[in-house]
A and B are shown apart, each in its own frame.
Chain A
Amino acid sequence: MAEPLLAMRDVRAGYGDAVVLDDLSLEIPEQGSLAVLGRNGVGKTTLLLTIMGYTNVQRGAIRWRGEAITNIQPHRRARLGIGWVAQEREIFPSLSVEENLTVASRPGTWALPRVYDLFPRIAERRQAMGNQLSGGEQQMLAIARALMTNPALLLLDEPLEGLAPIIVEELTRAIHRMRAEEGTAVILVEQHAQVALSLTDQALVLERGKIVHRAGSQELLNDAATLDRLIGLRISASA
């Protein structure tokens, strides 16, 4: 049986001595996708930071294609193929769009022409500085920059937060396309549960740093009562 792309076993992690995630196990196969749902402050971002290597793992193991990566540094995880789009976007403000992308470039199928094709809006603004972009453009640039590292797994931390519906639609289409064309695996943390579930195959719900529910994304999307109970989301009849 093939090794999963990423596997976490009984992970306890946090910042310093503070524990945020506990007893957390998950697997994501090659080209798989996972939505991480939960209310604010339950540890969703910490989960992504832990995968990226920015937290203190006190117990458990993280494996990448069967190899232990629990103790390796973030830049080595990025080189293995883990891409991360932070919630704050963290565009380099005084670098141009083109430089923001070029600085992340690693060999692979994602290069400037392809990311510009995926995000025509940032192609038009390639000479603009990072701090001259709108929120939506910054988010596109953040995703495009992560793609330039040619990741096998992309961690997306609330990529749709605070964006206009038309931009949300554009980003959703791009994520769909990216998955369809390259089969990039995705872990998506998102408050827009319906969008997240429509973009992924599997879903889990976190509560106080622990996984309290796992299901297929479609199944959970159709389970209005569970969604309401776990994350307070009421799905309207028309949804």
Chain B
Amino acid sequence: MADMTGTALAPQLYLQAQARWRAIEVAFWLATLLPFVLLPNYLVLASQIAITALFALSLDLILGYAGIVSLGHAAFFGLGAYTAGIISKFGWGEPLSGLLVASILAGTVGYASSFIIARFRHLALIMITLGLGLLLHEAANSAHWLTGGADGLQGVKIWRLLGRFNFDLWGYTAYAYSLIVLFLVFLVARRLIHSPFGLALRGIRENSVRMPAIGAPSRSHIRTVYTIAAVIAGVAGALLAQTTETVSLEVLSFGRSADVVVILILGGAGRLYGGLIGAIIYMVARDQFSGINPQFWYFWIGSLLVAVVIFLPNGILGGLAALAARWRSRS
């Protein structure tokens, strides 16, 4: 017995051990600073990648960890974008408070819709999230007086960040701002995932009916994580509105909801970094493919997705993890 008890950790200690930072993670985050030095002409793209990564991270919390399939996640992204854009249009362009208000509104709508989301699974859930997304898209389209409808929101003007840093054309401030927000939100998400709540979410993903029998209220947990994901998606949307000073109906589109699912599948769902890696690959691929072939670049994105799903069913990170495990077992 002694030898077994000696190495068995208490639950909290076990989770803390799982949450320890690894060298590769530190290297990843240090590498995100490289564009400032090596790719100064691509900072605008880098900022878009950081925002998309944040959006994908929010989807990962619900899809990768809790098993909630959503085809309407752009609803919260768009809500955040329009909120930040509209309050700036009406005279308040301070970015941080804009971010806060956008996240609160997206979170409130997320919380309200979570009561419906928590009742359904699988196909029904896909239909409901899709419906909610389309509903919001059309609402924004018809509220032309507020959103600008199909013409997009005009007159968004964002003030200097912290009263000091102007959002320059080269994207220095935009990338630094997006990266810092992404990192801070990532820290929160990481903490959440390595907590008993995060572990319970994974249990819910595996078997949401079984979890209550071990004391975890599945529906309440789903409502909580859905609200958190909505807040994060709202932050991502607000970041996009603030760094580009434009908001179009596209932020609420089905295409954006589908793209983020593709990104997560590419990178690997349920791995925290999957959305981040997926966003980098997807956005860079899109940038390059559209440069090579402006009309048919989606063809190549589709081919990439099919190849990943066939050869790396758990995404790029899942494939790398499997390779690493095989290498460890050989050595």
Contact = CB atoms under 8 A, between A and B. Distances in A.
Interface in A61-109: 73-75, 78-79, 83-84, 86, 90, 92-95, 98-99, 102-106
Nearest to B270: A94
B206 A73 contact: no
Contacts of A104: 214-215
Q: Interface extent on A, as a size class?
A: 20 to 34
Nearest to A99: B199
B119 to A, nearest CB: 14
Contacts of B216: 75, 103
Contact of A103 (B4, B199, B212): B199
B203 interface: yes
Most buried by A among B10, B11, B14, B217: B11
Interface in B7-49: 8-11, 14-15
A22 to B, nearest CB: 24
A116 to B, nearest CB: 5
A78 B189 CA distance: 28
B295 interface: no
A123 B215 contact: no
A54 to B, nearest CB: 8
A150 to B, nearest CB: 10
Most buried by A among B196, B210, B215, B218: B215
A113 B212 contact: no
A84 B215 CA distance: 11
A149 B214 contact: yes
B184 interface: no
B310 interface: no
Contacts of B200: 103
Contacts of B218: 75
A78 B4 contact: no
B256 interface: no
B9 A146 contact: no
A115 to B, nearest CB: 9
Interface string A106-141: 100001110011001001001000000000000000
Contacts of B206: 92-95
A52 interface: yes
Contacts of B214: 78, 83, 103-104, 145-146, 148-149
Contacts of A117: 1, 4-5
Contact of A123 (B8, B9, B11, B202): B8
A99 B199 CA distance: 8
Contacts of A105: 11, 196
A95 B212 contact: no
Given A105-B11, A117-B4, A92 B202 contact: yes
A84 B209 CA distance: 13
B263 to A, nearest CB: 21
SS class, residues of chain B in contact with chain A: helix
Interface residues of B, number: 25
B123 interface: no
B213 interface: yes
A104 B211 CA distance: 9
Interface string A202-217: 0000000000000000
B203 A95 contact: yes
Contact of A73 (B199, B210, B217): B217
Nearest to B203: A103
Contacts of B5: 113, 116-117
A111 B202 CA distance: 20
B4 A75 contact: no
B215 A78 contact: yes
Contacts of A93: 206
Contacts of B203: 92, 95, 103
Interface string B203-244: 100110011111111100000000000000000000000000
Contact of A75 (B199, B202, B217): B217
A22 B221 CA distance: 34
A92 B207 contact: yes
A219 B11 CA distance: 43
A84 B203 CA distance: 16
Contact of B14 (A84, A102, A120, A123): A102
Most buried by B among A52, A102, A111: A102
Nearest to A120: B4
Nearest to A84: B213
Contact of B213 (A78, A120, A123): A78
B212 A112 contact: no
A114 to B, nearest CB: 8
A52 B210 CA distance: 11
Nearest to A123: B4
Nearest to B221: A75
Nearest to B207: A90
A6 to B, nearest CB: 16
Contacts of B11: 102, 105, 111-112
Given A92-B202, A103-B214, A148-B214, 6 more contacts: A75-B212, A78-B212, A102-B196, A103-B203, A112-B9, A149-B215
10 contacts: A74-B213, A75-B211, A79-B215, A95-B203, A102-B196, A104-B214, A105-B196, A116-B8, A117-B4, A126-B8
